[in-house]
Amino acid sequence: GAGVSQSPSNKVTEKGKDVELRCDPISGHTALYWYRQSLGQGLEFLIYFQGNSAPDKSGLPSDRFSAERTGGSVSTLTIQRTQQEDSAVYLCASSSARFSGGRDNEQFFGPGTRLTVL
């Protein structure tokens, strides 16, 4: 079946511009996660959705970052007034998690969007 898809795969933008990154999770997965990974670094958690609501936004680095999810499916991560330090690979993952502790927590990742801010 289809996995997690993300678009665009690459995005080059100028400092100060806004960007939108899209994630389409595995069909039926209720949980959706956004991460950021800078070159040679670990995964940095940004935000988590359960259905359309975001119980945990604790990882968003600043108020320039926002995300939404509609219809319990596609999610968009928006970065306003991009800065050079926003350059990274943005990864989306989904799982069927409805509660903690079980197999539902298995997350499956999309291919990522490589964002370069000039």
Partner 1 sequence: QKEVEQNSGPLSVPEGAIASLNCTYSDRGSQSFFWYRQYSGKSPELIMSIYSNGDKEDGRFTAQLNKASQYVSLLIRDSQPSDSATYLCAVNRDDKIIFGKGTRLHILP
Rounded-to-integer distance, Cα 18 and Cα 64, Å: 9
For partner 1, the closer CB: 40 or 71: 40
Binding site for partner 1 (CB under 8 A): 31, 33, 35, 41-43, 45, 48, 50, 55-56, 91, 97, 99-103, 105-112
Q: How far is the CB of 91 from partner 1 (least distance, A)?
A: 6
Provide the minimum distance between the beta carbon of 16 and partner 1 in the complex, in angstroms, as a whole number: 28
**Closest distance of CB 13 from partner 1, Å:** 20
For residue 52, give both structure tokens. 């359309």
Q: Output the smallest distance, CB 57 to partner 1, in A.
A: 12
Residue 1 neighbours by CB under 8 Å, 6+ apart: 26, 27
Give me the residues paired with residue 39 across strands: none
CB of 10 or CB of 83, closer to partner 1: 10
Query: How many Å apart are CA 51 and CA 28, to the nearest integer?
Result: 10
d(CA 89, CA 116): 9
Beta strands 113-117 and 10-13, pairing class: parallel
